[in-house]
Structure 1
Amino acid sequence: MPGGHFHRWAAGVSLAMLVASPVRADTLREALMQAYQTNPTITGARAQLRATDENVPIARANGIPSLDATGGYSESLKSATNSYLTAPRQATAGLQLTVPVFQGGAVKNNVRAAETRVEAGRAGLRSTESDLFTRVVAAYMDVILNTAVVRLNEQNVHVLQVNLDATNDRFQVGDLTRTDVAQSQARLAQARGQLRDAQAQLISSRETYISVVGTPPDNLQSPPDLPNLPGSTENAVDIALRENPQLEQARQALKAAGYDVNVAEAGKLPKLSVILGGQYYNYLGSLPPLAVAEGVDNGGNSATAGVQLTLPIFQGGRPAAQVRQAKALRGQAIEQATAAERQVVQDVRSAYASWQSAQYLIRSSRSAVDANRLSLEGVRAENSVGTRTILDILNAEQELLNAQVQLVTAQRNAYVAGFALLSAMGRAEANDLGLDGGGLYDPTLHYKDVRGSVWDWREGDDAEPVATSTTDTPAQTSNVAPLGEDETLDLGVGDAGE
């Protein structure tokens, strides 16, 4: 899916501003960008991919000429009586250049396996990114949902308190009984307990938001509509089988396992190298007089050149065991690819069903809210003429509250399920969500930088923290803005896809 499909998220928001100043996560796009830049799960996955990149130059090094220098010093503590020409001291220095010519294909296949695993690692990073965004969306919507539930429960407590006061007044004049008062008191106590539970849930969701996003939630706005949701389960599965990053990672791992078999088979093949060497020696002026008289030099040098052929004949069964092992691991990779495919199909179908169910529940809950509101008005009117009891009013108020909570919960579930469906399809990554703009992480830059590196002393910079700490964030509370009189609470999430 082109990144432009989600560019509506970016309306009025400049990525340069996000990078230049602290991010206030008051829109879903800002929350996603904040998590993308500072969440330790994604920053750790990037570091892991950079480590995977290094396997390519490590594999290539086995096919590159190597140069070794040697040096030594020796001194004879006691010379044999027949060693009248041997110097008691000697210093040596040497160089040897080894040029691999043929390694049975091991180097070539090792490099291909490493490169393929880099591709698998990039797919894994995409999967981590998509999973993180799904967690951000869930945390964002949970804060909005639990804020709404607290407001509804606070409003319910207020209404029940007014009811209890009115019931007490009517009891004082003999219009109602002690039973009516007790019923109102019981319902108010129950509502206060429900409010405390809702407040605890709100605090928990706000702390979860901090853990995922990195900053406290601040006046979260209604999220934008989810674009390009599929029209059928079959369409969603078809897209996922082409674009899901977890499935791509499993397929690349299977391809790399095939190269591993070729590497193992190379253990039975001949190896050929060209060797060039040179040596310098110096007796440090310690030659015996007789050796000097014979014309032996105090120092000198030598050079050698040759070809080294290694032909394995018997290795105790190790090469065959390594080949069998590699084939078994490839068999495992085959099964893991099938398992990944099954999981993708399950995830897509389940997310699609949840999304559809939640949309239906939104429609039915809205009808239930309207009907319960009308019913409550009628029960109150009938109570004023004596045809309904206080308990009837209390029950009608509770049914309205339940319907309202069910509505906002269904709205939250529909949005989260819709985003999870996009994630399972492979269409919930930074580019898909319109987070591009110059600040996105490019996983190819490090690979291009190190792939051809042959310098032994280029060790790179020490690791530094990237993700931000949340220890300084304030403990969250359950404070919310109260509902206005006759205000209808709605999460602002439409029936996406209808």
Structure 2
Amino acid sequence: MWLGLTKKAMRGVAVATALVFTLGASADKLQAETLADALVGAYQNSGLLDKNRALLRAADEDVAVAMAALRPIVGWTSSLTYSYSDAVSGSAPLGVTSESVSTTVGLAAELMLYDGGANRLRMDIAKETVLATRESLVSVEQQVLMSAVDAYFEVRRATEFVRLRRNNLRVISEELRAARDRFEVGEVTRTDVSIAEARLAATRAQLAAAEGDLARGIESYRAVVGRKPGALNAPKAIKSPATSLDGAKALALRTHPDLKRVQHQVSASELGILVAEAGKRPQLKITSNIGVSDTFNSANGGESASLGLSASQPIYQGGRLSALERKARAQRDSARADLHIGQLQISQNVGNAWAQLNVARATSAASSEQVSAAQVAFRGVREEATLGARTTLDVLDAEQELLDARASLVSAQIDEVRAGYMLLATMGLLTAERLNLNVPRYDPAAYYNLVKTAPTSSSKQGKQLDRVLKSLGKE
């Protein structure tokens, strides 16, 4: 059938075939997964984010608990008492037996009027803890997104290495066939064939190792992103928000969530000293009670009410209050030291990431030149081998150098893009908002605004809070 086709028709078939392959490749490229897709998947499927959001809601509730301490405490009490007695006296030789059943129902209320400001200070501590926990959530978000970046690029690296190893296997197989053909005609010795066979076996082992690395990378990707990776696009290098190392460090010290978290912890620890000092001051509270009592089988019973004002102040507690104050000051000093350490650590991390990015860029440029030179050398050595000026080992060595150069280029290009994201993370900017990811934004203040006034479950705000909890699936 093919013999009956004209040259023009055969040319048309070739063009159509090429067009089909081109369209298919374009469709695959359009369907390929991007780094942004992986980041969205990690953000939406992270159990670590869910855990820390729950911890933030727990910290929000501490503000409500502290607020409740400023309000009256009202409760009810009731009792039912059965009494029995059997007395013997001189006037009643047979004894006197009596029984009674009494009941009491009452309401009690208590309100702290003055406690040295301790309760309000505790509420301020709870607010600072909320702010610190919000920064911890941002830090966890960075951790989750950076894990997705690492998983994405490890799969990309492993995929490229497998491709290079398979191509290397094909090339060495061709060299082995050529060596055997030349051996048959007496151009080379059996040694050349054995060298090619050994190199082919080593290449197969290297391919198996690369495929194993790819399998492990896929499992890591699945754990982080929540699904198996498809074809992954090669992302472009991300632009740094700073043009110099000093600028990057200055920006990191203003924006990094770990540093902000420690700053709020320092504020909370300083308030803790004031709470310890308030424990030595007098307390003033008002109390009231209303009750009804009744004794069955008798006319005893009645109503009662009381209203009282009480004041107290500790004089001596065995040194406990002084110890609490010293402890609070030591915790404050520890938090300040953490702040100093955090500043140094963040500056160091930014410097390391900046250097790593520059190294990756230089390595990428050098590796590109190495690949170009290795390609020329490989072609030359192979041509010289066909003329008998080179041995099979020379060809295999040149091919191995080309493979190593291509592998170095792939790693350098991946490391360059990854280093850009690592630099963002060290500056505290690797967030869904900063990257403009297409995900629902989590508002850390939404739940706080619902609970900060300590609403009861029967109030309008409390019912709204119940709906929020049900939507979160936490009930």
| Partner in structure 1 of residue 65 of structure 2 | 58
Aligned partner letter, 2:288: L
> What is the aligned partner in structure 1 of residue 197 from structure 2?
185
The reply on whether 1:259 has 2:266 as its aligned counterpart is: no
Aligned partners of 2:236 and 2:417 also within 8 Å: no
Q: SS state of the match for residue 432, structure 2?
A: coil
Amino acid at match of 1:253: Q
How far apart are the structure 2 equivalents of 1:249 and 1:312?
35
Question: In structure 2, how many angstroms separate the alpha carbons of the residues matched to 1:465 and 1:368?
Answer: 56
Within 5 Å, give how 1:12-411 maps onto structure 2: 26-78=33-85, 88-284=100-296, 286-287=297-298, 297-411=299-413
Question: Is this contact kept in 1: 2:40–2:438, CA < 8 A?
Answer: no
SS in 1 for 2:233: coil
Give the number of aligned pairs. Answer: 432
Counterparts of 1:300 and 1:207, CA distance in 2: 76
CA shift, 1:81, in A, is 6.8
TM-aligned CA deviation for residue 271 of structure 1: 0.5
Q: Identity over aligned residues, as a percent?
A: 35
2:32 and 2:233 in contact (8 A); partners too? no
CA contact (8 A) 2:116 2:281 kept: yes
**221 and 162 in structure 1: CA distance in 2 versus 1, 3 angstrom threshold:** same
What letter matches 1:62 in structure 2?
A
**What's 2:450 paired with?**
449
Give the C-alpha shift of residue 49 in structure 1.
1.1
Structure 1 residue 105: Cα displacement: 1.1
Distance 1:81 1:249, change over 3 A: farther
Shift of the 337–34 alpha-carbon distance from structure 1 to 2, 3 Å rule, reads same
Query: Would the aligned equivalents of 1:270 and 1:309 in 2 still touch at CA under 8 Å?
Result: yes
Q: TM-score, normalised by structure 2?
A: 0.87
Spell out structure 1 runs of 4+ moving beyond 4 A: 79-84, 456-466
The 3-state SS of whatever aligns with 1:74 is strand
1:225 shift after superposition? 3.4
- Report the Cα offset of residue 449 of structure 1: 1.1
> What is the distance in 1 between the residues matched to 2:322 and 2:102?
47
Question: Residues of 2 paired with 1:278 and 1:367: CA distance?
Answer: 92
- Contact 1:71 1:92 survives alignment (8 Å): yes
CA shift for structure 1 position 229: 4.2
> What secondary structure does 2:234 align onto?
coil
Matched to 2:231, the amino acid is: N
AA paired with 1:203? A
Deviations 1:242-281 (A, max 9, x none): 0000111111111111111111111111011111211110
- Aligned residue type for 1:38: N
Q: Does the 8 A contact of 1:183 with 1:391 survive in 2?
A: yes
Distance 1:412 1:224 in 2: 10
Q: 1:356 to 1:464 in 2, by over 3 A?
A: same
Structure 1 distance, partners of 2:416, 2:354, is 10
Instruction: Kindly state the Cα deviation for residue 179 of structure 1 after the two structures are TM-superposed.
Output: 1.1
Task: Identify unmatched segments of 5+ residues in structure 2.
Answer: 1-30, 90-94
Specify the code of the residue in structure 2 equivalent to 1:303. A
Q: Which amino acid aligns with 1:455?
A: T
Gap regions ≥5 residues in structure 1: 1-23, 288-296, 467-498
Is the alpha carbon distance of 1:385 and 1:366 closer, same or farther for their aligned partners in structure 2, counting shifts above 3 Å?
same
Partner of 1:162, secondary structure, is: helix
What is the DSSP-based 3-state SS (H/G/I as helix, E as strand, rest coil) of the residue aligned with 1:274?
A: strand
Query: 1:305: Cα distance to partner?
Result: 0.7
**1:180-229 deviation per Cα after TM superposition (whole angstroms, max 9, x unaligned):** 11111111111111111111111111110011111110111222431234
TM-score, normalising length: structure 1: 0.83
Shift of 1:35: 1.1
Q: Name the CA distance, whole Å, in 2 between partners of 1:279 and 1:135.
A: 63
Letter in 2 for 1:442: D
Residues 54-85 of structure 1, C-alpha deviations (whole Å, 9 max, x = no match) = 1111112222110011100101122657999x
Determine which structure has the larger helix proportion and give its number. 2
Superposed CA deviations along residues 145-168 of structure 1, whole A, max 9, x for unmatched, are 110010000000010001101110
Give distance in 2, aligned partners of 1:81 and 1:334.
75
Q: Is the 8 A contact 2:169 2:203 kept in 1?
A: yes
Please provide the CA RMSD for this pair: 2.2
Query: In 2, are the aligned partners of 1:61 and 1:454 still within 8 Å (CA)?
Result: no
Task: In structure 1, give the amino acid aligned to 2:341.
Answer: A
What is the Cα deviation at residue 34 of structure 1? Answer: 1.3
Inter-partner Cα distance in structure 2 for 1:79 and 1:101: 49
What is the distance in 1 between the residues matched to 2:37 and 2:306?
67
